[in-house]
Amino acid sequence: MSKKLWGGRFNKATDKTVEAFTESISFDSRLLRHDITGSIAHARMLAACNIIPQSDTDAIIIGLQGILADYEAGHIEFDPSAEDVHMNVESILKQRIGEPAGRLHTARSRNDQVATDIRLFLKDEISIIIGSISRLQSVLVEQAEKHVKTIMPGYTHLQHAQPVCLGHHLMAWFSMLERDKGRMSDCLKRMDVLPLGSGALAGTTFPIDREMVRDELKFSSVSSNSMDAVGDRDFAAEFIWSAAMLMVHLSRFSEEVVLWNSSEFSFVKLDDSVTTGSSIMPQKKNPDVAELVRGKSARVVGDLMAILTLQKGLPLAYNRDLQEDKEPIFDAVDTAQASLDVFAIMMATAEFNTARMRVSAGEAYSTATDLADHLVRMGVAFRDAHAQVGSLVGYCSKEGKELYDLNLAEIRQYAPESADDIISLLTVDASVEARTAAGGTAASSVMKQISDAKKILVN
């Protein structure tokens, strides 16, 4: 006969190869704290509903608390033959308290148990990740406030487009991270539903009090359909999608840091504490943090593909395939958290080469749009103004000049309606400060963005 806790109808022991293939304790042991938290709430409810004696519940709770304390002290050895964290906990509990341990699993299944554990785990981790996003945002706000007057080139297609201030550029990343935070919070709302009490798939015949368990575990509501509660992991997929989007944003930001740190750009100097050297080239100082964050984004995108593909062909309700949900969940949590932490350190210690940025901002005819806008204000149709300035840029390219090198006569050759003061409007300072509309790059607009961001971070 099988020695498994579920082995009553089996006449043979599980093959060792099968046992090794089907175990999950090697990775789901990190759910132990949440498993015990859920089990304690379940045990209290069973006693309150007179389903098991209060004395058994008391023994169960003391035993579970002891297991948790020993686990946190590193004194628990798990048994792979017990398959998963749930069976390991129950087996250890039985060894410690005897018969009462066998009553803990009354009115529940591993199916609703694991769905509860994962939701409890993700509720905790999402709150931590949201806090880490806010810390990175705080770093960006601090840097942005220092650089409201630092002018740099803005890019489209990675070509010089228009001058912007560095503070404005950094606040763009703040805005993206704020949406990432919002997605995490929104995901948390749909995750905040208690599955425990759904049983294996059909509910339970025992007169349980799900609201009591919901209240103790601090869920907002209980699941409305037992099959849905145990058979879907859309909440996990939604979290991983949110984490993947966050990592894509960090990856894009990392790409800029890598470019800006290069000799060709020389826009930023990264601190020695967040860079590494070469094993052969003694002069090298490599932006490894940015490169690794960029690389690790692929892991989380892969986690998303894994969790979606895992579920795409599953009939209701629970299937053992869902054991494979935990590793992508854990990886997405760990990768996002670690990336946020190191990114905050990298950006807090970054030093910007403001002089180099300013020089670069004036190159490649970056104020051409300002000239076109000026001509429109002088009564020229925009398409005509666009054509005139385009011809002027062609002239500059041929002559090896920038727009700020031109005199009024040269400008009027191609744009005859230009006013006498047009040259003063073509500086990078004038270009930046002209964009005062809400969300623009003028200092007043950027300070408004920073002020609003500080209010967001306080709340």
- The closest alpha carbon to 413, from 386, 383, 391, belongs to 391
Task: Locate the DSSP E strands across 159-294.
Answer: 159-165, 193-194, 221-222, 268-269
The pLDDT confidence band at residue 374, using thresholds 50, 70 and 90, is very high
- CATH code of the region 111-359: 1.20.200.10
Phi-psi region of 15 (alpha: psi -120 to 50; beta: other; left: phi over 0): beta
What distance in Å separates the CA atoms of residue 252 and residue 158, rounded to the nearest whole number? 13
Strand partners for 222: 194
pLDDT of 2 over the 50 cut: yes
pLDDT of 21 reads 82
- The closest alpha carbon to 409, from 394, 399, 397, 422, belongs to 422
pLDDT of 4 over the 70 cut: no
pLDDT of 7 reads 64
Helix (H) or strand (E) holding 151: strand 151-156
Residue range 235-268, pLDDT digits in tens:
999 999 999 999 999 999 999 999 999 999 999 9
Q: Could you say which of 157, 224, 263, 279 is catalytic?
A: 157
Question: Angle between the 234-261 and 110-146 helix axes, to the nearest 10 degrees?
Answer: 30
Instruction: Decide if 332 contacts 303 (C-beta within 8 A).
Output: yes
> Class of 7-106 per CATH?
mainly alpha
Least confident of 13-27, 116-130, 281-295: 13-27
The pLDDT confidence band at residue 5, using thresholds 50, 70 and 90, is low
What distance in Å separates the CA atoms of residue 133 and residue 141, rounded to the nearest whole number? 12
pLDDT of 193 over the 70 cut: yes
pLDDT of 284 reads 87
- CATH code of the region 368-426: 1.10.40.30
- Residue type present at position 291: E
Give 172's contacts (C-beta < 8 A, 6+ positions apart).
Answer: none
What's the rounded mean pLDDT across residues 194-210?
97
pLDDT of 456 reads 97
What's the rounded mean pLDDT across residues 342-353?
98
What distance in Å separates the CA atoms of residue 190 and residue 221, rounded to the nearest whole number? 10
Residue range 67-96, pLDDT digits in tens:
999 999 999 999 998 889 999 999 999 999
Q: What are phi and psi of 152, to 5 degrees?
A: -140, 165
pLDDT of 3 reads 65
What's the rounded mean pLDDT across residues 177-204?
97
Instruction: Decide if 362 contacts 428 (C-beta within 8 A).
Output: yes
Residue range 220-234, pLDDT digits in tens:
999 999 999 999 999
- State yes or no: is 157 an active-site residue: yes
pLDDT of 113 over the 60 cut: yes
Q: What is the number of H-type helices and E-type strands within the chain?
A: 18, 6
What's the rounded mean pLDDT across residues 33-58?
98
Percent of the chain having pLDDT more than 70?
98
Question: In the chain, what are the domain boundaries?
Answer: 7-106, 111-359, 368-426
Q: Could you say which of 278, 391, 397, 424 is catalytic?
A: 278
pTM for this prediction: 0.93
Residue range 421-430, pLDDT digits in tens:
999 999 999 9
What's the rounded mean pLDDT across residues 24-48?
96
pLDDT of 1 reads 45
